[in-house]
């Protein structure tokens, strides 16, 4: 009888760990949609509250007007809230703060 109780408790603990692991493994892929009339040459995402934009996520890619680009925002920190910065072909930039990438799957830049 004690072995079955122990196995039941271990099973319940395992299910709890699985649920916690699933919550922290939220999908952080976001489709960035460009509806600005200009090309996005550089795109940055950093956890909200930091002052460093890190590297350009696009690298050599460009998001042309009317295009959608899938970006994996996950930086390994487990964070859900990020600031986005898009830099356009004319050098101007748009910053959008406090985007919850665990709750959205698409973010659209418009002018």
Q: Are 52 and 39 in contact (CB under 8 A)?
A: no
Q: Is residue 2 part of a domain?
A: no
Indicate which CATH number applies to the domain containing 67.
2.60.40.2890
For 42-54, the pLDDT digits (tens) are 999 999 999 899 8
Q: Is residue 8 part of a domain?
A: no
pTM to 2 decimal places: 0.75
Average pLDDT, the chain: 84
For 65-101, the pLDDT digits (tens) are 999 999 999 888 899 999 999 999 999 999 999 999 9
Q: Is residue 64 part of a domain?
A: yes
Q: Is residue 85 part of a domain?
A: yes
pLDDT at residue 88 in the model = 98
Print the domain residue range for 35. Answer: 27-110
Q: Is residue 56 part of a domain?
A: yes
Distance CA 23, CA 76 (A): 14
Tokens for 70, please give them. Answer: 């899938």
**111 half-sphere exposure, CB direction, 13 A CA radius:** 14
Number of domains in the chain: 1
* Higher local confidence (pLDDT), 13 or 69: 69
Q: Is residue 19 part of a domain?
A: no
């Amino acid at each position: 009888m004690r072995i079955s109780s122990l196995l039941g408790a271990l099973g319940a603990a395992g299910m709890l760990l699985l649920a916690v692991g699933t919550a922290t493994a939220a999908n952080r892929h976001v489709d960035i949609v460009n509806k600005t009339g200009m090309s996005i040459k550089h795109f940055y995402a950093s956890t909200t509250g930091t002052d460093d934009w890190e590297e350009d996520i696009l690298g050599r890619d460009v998001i042309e007007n009317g295009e959608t680009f899938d970006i994996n925002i996950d930086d390994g920190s487990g964070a859900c809230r990020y600031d986005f910065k898009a830099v356009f072909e004319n050098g101007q930039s748009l910053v959008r703060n406090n985007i919850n990438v665990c709750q959205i799957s698409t973010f659209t830049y418009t002018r």
